[in-house]
Structure 1
Amino acid sequence: MSKLPANGAHPPLGTLIHDDTIQLVSVLGNGGYGVVFLGVDISSKRRRKYAVKCMSKAKGRRTAHVRELNFHLQVTGHPGVIECYGAVEDDNFTYFIMEYATSSDLFHQILHECRYLAQDDTIKYVFLQLIEGVEHCHKMGVFHRDLKPENVMCFDDGHRVAITDFGLATSDPSSCEFRTGSVYHMSPECQAGHFREDAYSPVANDVWSLGIILVNMVTGRNPWKSATKEDPVYQNYIQAPLTFFSSVLPVSNPLNNLLVRVLNPDWKARMSLHDFKHAIQDISTFYSVNVHFEGNLASRSSFTHITLILMSLAVHTMDSDTVGRIPHLNSILLLILIPTKHLFRPVPRPSASLSCARSGKECRDRRRRMPGWHTLPGLPTGIIDTFMPHLLLM
């Protein structure tokens, strides 16, 4: 029987569950859903490891837990989905016992390990696994609605991936539940944006999320913060979708053409998952010839930090008509210069220099935090004060 929790928020480390056979030994992650523990089977010599998702039963949440469990069990059995072995509960908590991912999640692999940067074959190999996992879920009548790098678990140093977390999933092919998921990866129709209707397609919503994940893997960036009218970068995309990506990101023409179809604001005209899969197979490179790799990001070589600083200074002296004649200038500056607004969230500076392997060679020192004003060495504070307000108003 499980020990009582120390403070009611989550059970203490050392708690025993599943007839005292699995011990919770460390925390793997936490969020609004609860806590994910590393669980170890102490009843066998193998001491098998599990990921144990622990959720409070307070406020009548048990119904939601049962719903999530049923969805997860329904799609378990495919290599692209984390295995769910079942659930146990006590008076305070519900515990999902799941397959343990040995290489963290896709977010970690993208941001901390630079796993996919400049690796066309690896990106294709891994992303096709992800598509096949989603394809399996859809065939089983389960639509995820919260696809993002944090919900894609990794094995073999990020070379094998599997989907997890079906807490927001639905079996309804037409949903009236809006704003479900994470804002960076949520489709405009799910946010009740463009082409607003009484319902939207969770299938098309998942396709959109996959498109954003592909941008994450290729560039280390999010293309915008939210697919809404309040986001100026997204609005620039809406105004000129055919040229947006190739203007602000180092993507190849085939990838640019694919993203335009996958990230079509009109979900009824959006590319199908089947066509998405075959289009990925046909792409030989995801990058343009003018790509520049810096830290854990890919940029257009013309948009290095120094170039952008000079561009910003120039923009500060331009009249509005001149600025308007430069394609996607607002998006370029907002996307790259304003720290963390349209990129992955920042991470702390490591205590020592870190490096990662790329194409069989050691890449240079990679700082594990997001580029922004605070990472540009020698940049006077006065410059920030001078033109940050201007950029924010663009």
Structure 2
Amino acid sequence: MDRKCTCSDLVGQYIDDGRLLLIQTIGSGSNGVVYLALDLATENPPPRQYAVKCVPKAPRGSRALYMQRQEVEFQATVCDHPNILTLHTVIEDEHNLFIVSDHCPGGDFFTFLSNNRPFRRNDAYLKRIFLQLLDAVEACHDENIFHRDIKPENILISADAKQVYLCDFGLATTKPFSRSFGCGSSHYMSPECIGFDMSLQGYSTRQNDVWALGVILLSMICGHNPWRHATIEDPCYRAFVKDSDYLGKTLPISAAANNIFRRIFMPEPLRRVSLPLLRLMVLQIDTFFMTDDEISRSSDHVKNAAARFFAEPVPRPPTSPPLERWIHVPGWDFSDNTLCSEGSADSSASPPTPPPHYDEPVQCEAADPTPAILEVPRGQNNNEDEHPPESMHHSGVQFGHEPRERIRIRRSFPSKASLKERHMGLVGRIFDRFSPHRVEH
């Protein structure tokens, strides 16, 4: 008897009529699993890599199906931008959808920030990367697409760390004004999106994205988020509401950078800085960082944060094993040409130090009444009304699998050049009824 396919045990399986081979699990979440795939139709080794997001097919007529269709449509609309992850195609079998995108071997931006601290005292590099992210968000807004879940985990980075790519449009919307409070990841939500003020009739999704960019910018400058949640119950946010210079008094950021954050974190959404103006302010700033002399004359909070962020050794990021350790592909020899980045370590090497827990406060020796800023947390989605039904959730990923026949699919593999013109037709076609005995070539 055939066993029903799941998203969590497909390593070693083929999709796209044998063209793509799933070789490794590279990510997982409540809605599905992301695999690294090889394109076996590549003419010369090594084969091209893709990231394949596998999600269970939602029942017809369900809200989950609507969300799946919408996520594909939104990403296809904007993925021609150089800083938005390219969507190549969507493949389906009887049980799952496979969303095929570019693979970014640099990993996600959260891990990059935690393991490398790459922007310390590097204004030019910080500007370059942040403006790429800002331009990606502005490109979405120009298409009336508002992301609503901008966070480091939803940003990918290239192997050479010179390009970033916005991804995961599962919570995006075309509504400039939303009443879906709490949609996104709470550490990056604006106060009006969190929805603690019951008198609000909704919030601006555009301004909510601007707020999230501000949280990310601060973490790039000094490795901290400004607060846990932007509510008056949070001591750090309450201190900021009372004194808009609070961040400049507790973190080693320059006066010009502090002015940017005052404009981004305006409590009144309509007074918040626009993306074009924010871009201009970032371009014109001389430095985001305090000088050593300014730090020496600042509070103990600033001195402590500077010592931790600027002086501590940086842990080495994790490295990938050679491809031949993952899986054997008949007809391919990877002995001299692996697909992992340079400096691959042996699999027995100890893992890198994990990022500090969000509840670990910055320790200050002096008795300063100002609440301490906390380290960058890993965001959690708080969008229960937007999630697929419980039946769609798959936890406890299985890495082992039994041999199985190749998954039969019926989708083509279009090039990026034709995607912009064809994405609407693609979105409509991928949800046609599946026939397991028919395959398109």
- TM-score higher than 0.5: yes
2:223 matches 1:220: yes
The TM-score, its normalising length taken from structure 2, stands at 0.67
* Matching residue's letter, 2:267: P
Residues 29-56 of structure 1: CA deviation (Å, up to 9, x unaligned) = 1112211111111133341111111112
- Greater shift in the superposed pair: 259-268 or 57-66: 57-66
Task: State the alpha-carbon separation in 1 of the partners of residues 171 and 159 from structure 2.
Answer: 27
Q: Could you say which residue in structure 2 is the equivalent of 1:330?
A: 370
Task: State the alpha-carbon separation in 2 of the partners of residues 205 and 96 from structure 1.
Answer: 27
Shift of 1:66: 0.8
- Contact kept? 1:4, 1:11, Cα under 8 Å: no
Greater RCO (Cα-Cα under 8 Å, separation 6 or more):
2
Task: State the alpha-carbon separation in 2 of the partners of residues 144 and 205 from structure 1.
Answer: 9
The TM-score, its normalising length taken from structure 1, stands at 0.74
CA RMSD of aligned residues (A): 2.4
Q: What SS does the aligned partner of 1:74 have?
A: helix
Q: Could you say which residue in structure 1 is the equivalent of 2:42?
A: 44
Residues 250-309 of structure 1: CA deviation (Å, up to 9, x unaligned) = 00000001101111121111111111111000111101124999xxxxx7225557x955
2:93 matches 1:53: no
Q: What SS does the aligned partner of 1:158 have?
A: coil
Task: State the alpha-carbon separation in 1 of the partners of residues 276 and 133 from structure 2.
Answer: 13
Q: Could you say which residue in structure 2 is the equivalent of 1:65?
A: 68
Task: State the alpha-carbon separation in 2 of the partners of residues 223 and 165 from structure 1.
Answer: 24
- Contact kept? 1:76, 1:83, Cα under 8 Å: yes
Residues 154-178 of structure 1: CA deviation (Å, up to 9, x unaligned) = 1143221110000000011111111
- Contact kept? 1:27, 1:37, Cα under 8 Å: yes
2:257 matches 1:262: no
Q: Could you say which residue in structure 2 is the equivalent of 1:310?
A: 365
Residues 341-372 of structure 1: CA deviation (Å, up to 9, x unaligned) = x53359xxxxxxxxxxxxxxxxxxxxxxxxxx
Residues 214-240 of structure 1: CA deviation (Å, up to 9, x unaligned) = 011111111111111221111111111
Shift of 1:196: 4.8
Residues 178-223 of structure 1: CA deviation (Å, up to 9, x unaligned) = 1111111111111114595212111101100000010111111111
1:21 to 1:126, Cα distance in 2 relative to 1, 3 A: same
1:17 to 1:252, Cα distance in 2 relative to 1, 3 A: same
Q: What SS does the aligned partner of 1:45 have?
A: coil
- Contact kept? 2:113, 2:220, Cα under 8 Å: yes
Give the structure with the higher percent helix.
1
Task: State the alpha-carbon separation in 1 of the partners of residues 198 and 251 from structure 2.
Answer: 27
Task: State the alpha-carbon separation in 1 of the partners of residues 219 and 20 from structure 2.
Answer: 36
2:177 is matched with which residue: 174, 177, 186? 174
Q: Could you say which residue in structure 2 is the equivalent of 1:19?
A: 17
2:273 matches 1:233: no
Task: State the alpha-carbon separation in 2 of the partners of residues 185 and 239 from structure 1.
Answer: 20
Task: State the alpha-carbon separation in 2 of the partners of residues 302 and 67 from structure 1.
Answer: 45
Q: What SS does the aligned partner of 1:205 have?
A: helix
Shift of 1:113: 1.8
* Matching residue's letter, 1:154: I
- Contact kept? 1:194, 1:265, Cα under 8 Å: no
* Matching residue's letter, 2:11: L
Q: Could you say which residue in structure 1 is the equivalent of 2:246?
A: 244
Q: Could you say which residue in structure 1 is the equivalent of 2:120?
A: 117
Q: Could you say which residue in structure 2 is the equivalent of 1:77?
A: 80
Q: What SS does the aligned partner of 1:127 have?
A: helix
Shift of 1:58: 4.7
Q: Could you say which residue in structure 1 is the equivalent of 2:324?
A: none
Residues 94-144 of structure 1: CA deviation (Å, up to 9, x unaligned) = 111001112112112211122222211100011111111111111111110
Structure 1 unmatched ranges of 5 or more: 294-298, 316-325, 337-341, 347-394
Question: How many residues align structurally?
Answer: 314
1:308 to 1:51, Cα distance in 2 relative to 1, 3 A: closer
1:179 to 1:138, Cα distance in 2 relative to 1, 3 A: same
Task: State the alpha-carbon separation in 2 of the partners of residues 52 and 123 from structure 1.
Answer: 30
Structure 2 unmatched ranges of 5 or more: 296-300, 309-361, 380-441
